[in-house]
Amino acid sequence: MVSLKGDSVKLRALEQRDLDFLYQLENNPAVWEISGTVTPYSKDVLQLYLDNAHRDIYDVKQLRLVICKLDDTPLGFIDLFDFDPQNRRAGVGIIVLSEKDRNKGVGSEALQILCRYAFGVLQLRQLYANILEENTPSVHLFEKLGFELVGVKKDWISSNGRFKNELLFQKINK
């Protein structure tokens, strides 16, 4: 069995106690650009999301896990989305909420754990990530973990009156 626990972080399912943390993240305009969010979420809407978070990845085609310290303090989220069991692939998204927790190996360890789970338990053949070209920390993270740049989507994201390129990274489990 693949463990969702590393040396300093673990991944766990969303729980009701995550409502305030989820509310803080989803309503932070600084991360809207990467999440495609354009309006704030109410706690009621996020509560409905949490109420359905137990649904199976094969049913809803996505899985959001909480990145936590080993003492269960939440640090961020890591997602599988566009889950396609027929073609054995899924997209990956990751966010560590606080700047003070970034660039300390949290994202790297969380992504390694998720890759082991996706390839080992879900039997996926490939994972992909869409990353803004200017997001050099994320580009570095995914490259460090063996994701390869396979394409550039020109002028893909509209942000603050200008268009930005998005990079497509892919990792194939051979």
Cα–Cα distance measured from residue 78 to residue 98, given in angstroms and rounded to the nearest whole number = 14
Q: Residues 75-81: what's their mean pLDDT?
A: 96
- What pLDDT does 2 receive? 63
For the chain, give the mean pLDDT.
91
The predicted model scores a pTM of 0.91
* Percent of the chain scoring above 90 in pLDDT: 67
Quick one: average pLDDT of 141-151? 97
Where on the phi/psi map is residue 12: left (φ > 0), alpha (ψ -120 to 50), or beta? beta
Assigned superfamily of 9-127:
Gcn5-related N-acetyltransferase (GNAT) (3.40.630.30)
Q: Identify the band that residue 86 occupies on the pLDDT scale cut at 50, 70 and 90.
A: very high
Q: Where are the domains of the chain?
A: 9-127
| Residue 1 pLDDT exceeds 60 | no
Between the CA atoms of 123, 66, 9 and 84, what dihedral angle is there, to the nearest 10 degrees?
20
pLDDT band at 152 (very low <50, low <70, confident <90, very high): very high
User: Alpha-carbon distance 107 to 128, whole Å?
Assistant: 16
